[in-house]
Structures are given as C-alpha cells and as structure tokens.
Amino acid sequence: MLVNVPTMINAMIRLPDLQKTDLSSVRFCTSAGEALPKTVHDQWMEKVGVTILDCIGSCELCHVYISNRKDNVRPGSVGQLVPGYEAKIVDEDGGILPQGQEGILWVKGKAGDCAIGRRLKKPVKPLSVNG
C-alpha cells in the first residue's frame, strides 16, 4: 500500500523515469489530505495502473470515515461512508440540508463527533436511528 496526498501523486506522475520504477509490490494507494482531481487520478491510472482509494478522515475521529472501495472507485469522489460512521450535511444552526446543498459536514463515529469546516453556532443533536 502506498499512502499519499494528491500533490505527491501529481509530482510522481510527472517524474521522467516513472515508467522504470518497480511498483509491482504496491497493490493499491490511498489519497487524503486534499481533493484528488479526476485528471490526476486518470493520469496515475494510465501511467501506473495501481488503484487509488481517495478518502477523507480526521484526527478528531481517529480514522477515515468516507472512502472509495477497491471494487468501487469513482474518480473525483471521496466515496461512501465507512461502516460504523454516520454523516450529514448541516447548516450553521445544525439543521440538516437537502442533498446537493453546500454546508458543514457533520460526522459521528465511536471516537466521537465533529463538524468539519467551521464551528457550529449551537451543538448538533446526536443522530437518531431514523437519521
């Protein structure tokens, strides 16, 4: 496994001798820390051919909580919610926003919960079984 960030992946695909590098022991790569542009993903696959699993996580939750899967990679997307985590997009007051609307990513897992991007004006009520 090769753990990386998109900036490094982009630099690697520009190496003049990349084709001569033996990456046969690398079964897949992960990418996190910033958005992985689809063009960088596609160039990596063309030149290297090793699957990149783009994902998002945080120190506060001690883990990746949204990730592509080895058998289900969608370039330009960070993937699907990892089992054991819950997520929703909320406004500054903690209200759930409709699909497609920009807001604050609120994530909950066994390690706790957090709002990614900025502080909420008031605490978000914990997710219920019904969402």
Q: Which domain, by its residues, includes 112?
A: 84-122
Query: β-strand 2-4 against 29-31: which pairing, if any?
Result: parallel
In a domain, residue 44? The reply is yes
**Domains of the chain: total:** 2
In a domain, residue 129? The reply is no
Tens digit of each residue's pLDDT, the chain (131 residues):
899 999 999 999 999 999 899 999 999 999 998 889 999 999 999 999 999 999 988 877 778 889 999 889 999 888 999 998 889 999 988 899 998 899 998 888 876 655 555 555 665 555 444 44
Among residues 78, 18, 20, the alpha carbon closest in space to that of 9 is found at: 18
DSSP 95: P
